[in-house]
Structure 1
Amino acid sequence: MQNKSYWKESVSVPARNPLAGDISIDTVIIGGGMAGILTAFLLQKKGRECIVLEAGRIGCGQTGCTTAKVTSQHNLIYAGLIKTKGEALARQYAQANQAAVREYESVIRRLKIECDWKECPAYLYADRKKTELHNEYMAALRLGIPAKWTEDTELPFRIEGALRFDAQGQFHPMKFLKALSEEITVCENTKVLKVTDNGVETDKGNVQAANIVFASHYPFVNMPGYYFMRMHQERSYVLAVKGASPLNGVYLGVDDDSLSLRTAGELLLIGGGAHRTGDNAYGGQYKKLEGAAARWWPGSKEAFRWSAQDCMTLDGVPYIGRFSARKQNWYVATGFQKWGMTSSMVSAMILSDQICGEKNPYEEVFSPQRHIGRSAAGSLIKESGHTAATLAKPSKLPEERKENVRTSRCSHLGCHLSWNPDEKTYECPCHGSRFDCKGRVTDGPAQKDISVGGES
């Protein structure tokens, strides 16, 4: 089956015109996904004139590949945040994401957006990691989150325990994005080529702007900021099946190789198979999900399959705020981990306040200039070592692939690429850039295509 996202296939977003020459405006936002569109929407509410520039189509990137859970429950995070950042910042993170859930509800209700919004509980479940999950439960209570411990779920398999957050949500992200984007100015098929202190240069004209927002998933400007040293990217996979019993809640397993689950209309979305981008030479991630579907939902039939890309930060918290201390009018929203929907709204709330000169109550914990701590510093050293090794030596290809695929170097910073047979893409293990079998860029930070020696 061809890899296609249910979200993208089930909604058609009207095309927007490219930029029609040079303009001057208060704020230019790079990236027409959820973070960029939401930021423009909230800025416009505050009276700021802004424009969104999208290199492809609205929602064509990671927004159209999400599982679209809207929750403040972000895997095993709160116990670790209390330990590494302290209770005050951990509480700030929790409150920011809970506020994001409520803001989605408010926007949907106020604009009467038909996007299949459903308030529902979110569960973390465990089999082997029951102790770690219970520690997360105690951390949530300590932070004032009305969490519940339960061993009773609607899952078809045995668990040792589950952590439940009530009043969370799920929706159809492209239906939401389609409606919200009608409220703002978006130029599609407009690629930003260069960013300056006073605006951006594109392939369709120049935009002079007092404020510049990078909402393009992964910042493509290397310096200042050095985000390529402070993040790596991971891929994960989704199988959408028909004929499975619907779930009332959204679920995520905390054990290795466990599943992410939610219902979308008549489909059950089964997610998993996460790995560092560029580390899937033997493939088989979709087969694992097919096996889970056959075991736990016998008789179900595959309808869609797709994969997603996530930016992973050194300390597990997104970078939201000023791009760099050297660029006071540049702003960034990146490193959303696996939680792009709530992180997009948090980004929009923080950045719209900062651009308007208002202090946001959640900005400290997300600041890109924050002190990362000792454990995160260890991650930085590990990332640097991984990059150095990949620059020096190409990844090994399975023997059966060698006659068809020749490794190449990434056009970003020259790392050796590896082949992902599940996606038929060349992938960079250093910074997560991806290229199709023709060598065309599909995911940044790379901006230029590559030459390849063979096709799959």
Structure 2
Amino acid sequence: MDSIWSTTSSLRERSRLPGDRETQVAVIGGGMAGILIAHTLQAAGLRVAVLEAGRIGSGQSQHTTAKVTAQHGMCYDRLIRKLGAQKARQYAQANLAACKALDDLITTRGIDCDWQRQNAYVYGDDPAALDREARAAALLGLPADRTDASSLPFPAAGAVRFSDQAQFHPLKFLGALADGLTVYEQTPVLRVERDHLVTPWGTVRADRIIFACHFPFVNIPGLYFARMYQERSYVLALEHTPPVDGMWISADGSGCSLRTWGTYLLLGGGHHRSGAHPGPSRYDWLRTQARTFFPKSQERACWSAQDCMTPDGVPYIGRYAAGRLNWYVATGFNKWGMTSSMAAALILRDLLCSGTSPWAQVFDPGRFGTTALRGVASQSGQAAVHLARYFFQIPSETASQLSPGQGGILFYQGKKLGGYRDLDGSLYLVDLRCPHLGCQLEWNPDERSWDCPCHGSRFDARGQLLSGPAQEGIVHEG
């Protein structure tokens, strides 16, 4: 579904790769991370090319709520306890530097992207936990303090406030920044061979290669499929609501997030693991919240986002794997892609240009502490469950039972398939095994899509690929 950003901006089309090319740095992915990384490296004097499978900003960047902040939920007390004060401080300072770098970039270049300074709040019902988080954030040098939650339309015990954060229109920013770069659209990277990127239209040889494509599609080396999962969340754009001061998220993740853009209030929430839809419509849940707290509001748009989640809550930014010294990665941004994209650009610029970064240690993709290992074990267990479901789950429906607009897992002519009947009554069949690593796909009724519960690949109701790490569709032939 179209976000408020995609319906209020227009980015010019770029040509596809015109044949074999060479460059110093090739960036895979033309979202916020890829474009910021390319811009920052080009500003440092490197020759850079961006290869985007579709259109720039057509993935997760157009589905964000576009908050630029070092306030990442209730994270700093946990980071100090789990990783130690030194690494927690690196995380905090990298995100503060990213916020400042974005502000400087937008101000210096005069980019018209609705950049607005705002306070960021995390609210909750546990005063002691809020106190601990405020103290931890302040200890790390963040502009944080405890406050009440009086601007909210519902009760809460209080909030942690980060002052002088920001929000913006992500696609207006992205379009302006990309105009100075070499970007090839409609150029999917099919495979990477050492220093060569193979596409349908030619090969790019690069001294350095950066994976900024949301979820890396090369499984070995790196094993990112075993170290991340993806999570969906949902947003409504509402008009005719009372003003809400600042940007708000809930401490435990079960409540609503709120921010304004112009005359709109963006109301978000209802997150769940991709491919594990909780049953009742997440959009309907948000609409119930809207009717309860903003009874005069009117819905103008709805959409959902998908985020790569890491076991320790810290992105992977740095060398892709020990055996690929010229490969780099920026992924696992959890729910903070706008700020993390700029942090990735700063870290990778330092690593490529000088070999070191003051924040590299905490973001190191090669880390495998106790927390990360537990996450790998959990992720492997989830994958095993959904691999087994393909063989042992018995469908409960037949094609004749699907109503118009409904999808589900069914038996059809002796085969276990996914089916969707459109509003005109036509039936579309798909293969249920994700082409990435074979997990059974599940139907998402809110998005009318087939989602992978293992690694988050998504396909539309007719089987066309929406997002990776899969690289091909699931249309059933025959």
The TM-score normalised by the length of structure 1 is 0.96
Partner secondary structure for residue 244 of structure 2: coil
- 1:356 is displaced (CA, Å) by 1.5
- The partner residue of 1:388 within 370, 384, 391 is 384
C-alpha contact 2:130 2:146 (8 A) present in aligned 1: no
Partner secondary structure for residue 7 of structure 1: coil
The answer on 1:442 being equivalent to 2:449 is no
Distance in 2 of aligned mates of 1:50 and 1:370: 28
C-alpha contact 2:397 2:408 (8 A) present in aligned 1: no
C-alpha contact 1:54 1:187 (8 A) present in aligned 2: yes
C-alpha contact 1:199 1:211 (8 A) present in aligned 2: no
C-alpha contact 1:397 1:418 (8 A) present in aligned 2: no
The answer on 1:360 being equivalent to 2:351 is no
Q: 1:332/1:187 Cα in 2 relative to 1: closer, same or farther (>3 Å)? A: same
What residue number does 2:414 align with?
none
What residue number does 1:34 align with?
32
Partner secondary structure for residue 8 of structure 1: coil
C-alpha contact 2:208 2:327 (8 A) present in aligned 1: yes
Distance in 2 of aligned mates of 1:172 and 1:219: 26
What residue number does 2:140 align with?
143
Partner secondary structure for residue 299 of structure 2: strand
C-alpha contact 2:116 2:167 (8 A) present in aligned 1: yes
User: 2:267 corresponds to which letter in structure 1?
Assistant: I
The answer on 1:412 being equivalent to 2:410 is no
Residues 360-416 of structure 1: per-residue CA shift (max 9 Å, x gap): 111110010123x22332222111111111101147878699745334110100001
Deviates more, 1:246-255 or 1:170-179: 246-255
Residues 304-327 of structure 1: per-residue CA shift (max 9 Å, x gap): 000000000121100000000100
Q: How does 1:295-444 map to 2 (within 5 A)?
A: 295-371=292-368, 373-394=369-390, 403=402, 404-406=407-409, 407=418, 408-444=432-468
Partner secondary structure for residue 438 of structure 2: coil
User: 2:195 corresponds to which letter in structure 1?
Assistant: N
Distance in 2 of aligned mates of 1:189 and 1:375: 38
Q: How does 1:66-81 map to 2 (within 5 A)?
A: 66-81=64-79
- The partner residue of 1:258 within 245, 255, 261 is 255
What residue number does 1:222 align with?
219
User: 1:139 corresponds to which letter in structure 2?
Assistant: A
C-alpha contact 1:281 1:420 (8 A) present in aligned 2: no
Distance in 2 of aligned mates of 1:375 and 1:341: 25
User: 1:259 corresponds to which letter in structure 2?
Assistant: C
Residues 210-262 of structure 1: per-residue CA shift (max 9 Å, x gap): 00010000000001000000000000000001111222310001135201110
The TM-score normalised by the length of structure 2 is 0.91
Partner secondary structure for residue 9 of structure 1: coil
The percentage of aligned residue pairs carrying the same residue is 49
Q: How does 1:227-306 map to 2 (within 5 A)?
A: 227-280=224-277, 282-306=279-303
Distance in 1 of aligned mates of 2:155 and 2:397: 39
User: 2:468 corresponds to which letter in structure 1?
Assistant: G
- 1:152 is displaced (CA, Å) by 4.2
C-alpha contact 1:234 1:275 (8 A) present in aligned 2: yes
C-alpha contact 1:120 1:167 (8 A) present in aligned 2: yes
C-alpha contact 2:257 2:269 (8 A) present in aligned 1: yes
What residue number does 2:429 align with?
none
Unaligned runs of at least 5 residues, structure 2? 410-417, 419-431
Partner secondary structure for residue 152 of structure 2: coil
- 1:156 is displaced (CA, Å) by 1.2
Q: What is the CA RMSD across the aligned residues, in angstroms?
A: 1.7
What residue number does 2:425 align with?
none
Distance in 2 of aligned mates of 1:303 and 1:325: 48
User: 2:374 corresponds to which letter in structure 1?
Assistant: G
What residue number does 1:153 align with?
150
Distance in 2 of aligned mates of 1:247 and 1:285: 22
User: 2:408 corresponds to which letter in structure 1?
Assistant: V
C-alpha contact 2:227 2:372 (8 A) present in aligned 1: no
Residues 316-353 of structure 1: per-residue CA shift (max 9 Å, x gap): 10000000010000000000000000000011111122
Q: How does 1:78-157 map to 2 (within 5 A)?
A: 78-127=76-125, 129-157=126-154
Aligned length: 450
Unaligned runs of at least 5 residues, structure 1? none
What residue number does 1:49 align with?
47
- 1:444 is displaced (CA, Å) by 0.5
Distance in 1 of aligned mates of 2:433 and 2:106: 44
Partner secondary structure for residue 337 of structure 1: coil
Distance in 1 of aligned mates of 2:264 and 2:468: 30
Distance in 1 of aligned mates of 2:114 and 2:398: 44
User: 1:94 corresponds to which letter in structure 2?
Assistant: A
Distance in 2 of aligned mates of 1:260 and 1:152: 13
